[in-house]
Amino acid sequence: MKIVLLEPLAIHQKKLKELSSKLIAMGHEFVAYDTVETDENLLKERVKEADILIIANHPLSGEVIRYAQNLKYISIAFTGYDHVDLEACEEKNIHVSNAQGYATEAVAELTIAMIISLLRNVIVCNEVVRKGGTKEGFVGKELFGKTVGIIGTGAIGLRTAQLLKVFGCKLLGFSRSESLRAKELGIEYVGLEELLSNSDIVSLHLPLNKKTQGLLSKEKIALMKKDALLINTARGAIVDNQALAEALNKGQIAGAGIDVFETEPPFSDHPLFHAPNTLLTPHVAFATEESMIKRANIVFDNVYSWIQGEQKNKVI
Q: What's at 170, amino acid-wise?
A: K
- The three-class DSSP label of residue 292 is helix
Sort residue 65 into left (φ over 0), alpha (ψ -120 to 50) or beta.
alpha
Sort residue 203 into left (φ over 0), alpha (ψ -120 to 50) or beta.
beta
pLDDT digits over 183-230, tens only? 999 999 999 999 999 999 999 999 999 999 999 999 999 999 999 999
Q: Is the CATH code 3.40.50.720 the one for domain 2-102+289-307?
A: yes
Length of the chain measured in residues: 316
Whether 2-102+289-307 shares its CATH topology with 104-280 is answered yes
Instruction: Tell me the C-alpha distance between 137 and 155, whole Å.
Output: 38
- Domain boundaries along the sequence of the chain: 2-102+289-307, 104-280
Query: What pLDDT does residue 189 have?
Result: 98
Whether the pLDDT of residue 289 is over 90: the answer is: yes
Average pLDDT in the chain: 96
Catalytic residues: 235, 264, 283
Instruction: Tell me the C-alpha distance between 214 and 232, whole Å.
Output: 13
**What would the DSSP string read from start to end of 192-214?**
HHHHHHH-SEEEE----STTTTT
Q: Is the CATH code 3.40.50.720 the one for domain 104-280?
A: yes
Q: Could you tell me the pTM of the whole model?
A: 0.89
Find all residues with CB under 8 Å of 156, minimum gap 6, and list them. 79, 103, 104, 107, 108, 205, 233
Whether the pLDDT of residue 34 is over 90: the answer is: yes
Burial 4-40 (b: 16+ CB within 10 A, else e): bbbbebebeeeebeebbeebeeeebebebeeeeeeee
Instruction: Tell me the C-alpha distance between 295 and 107, whole Å.
Output: 13
pLDDT digits over 93-107, tens only? 999 999 999 999 999
Instruction: Tell me the C-alpha distance between 301 and 314, whole Å.
Output: 13
CB 148 within 8 A of CB 173: no
Strand partners, 210: none
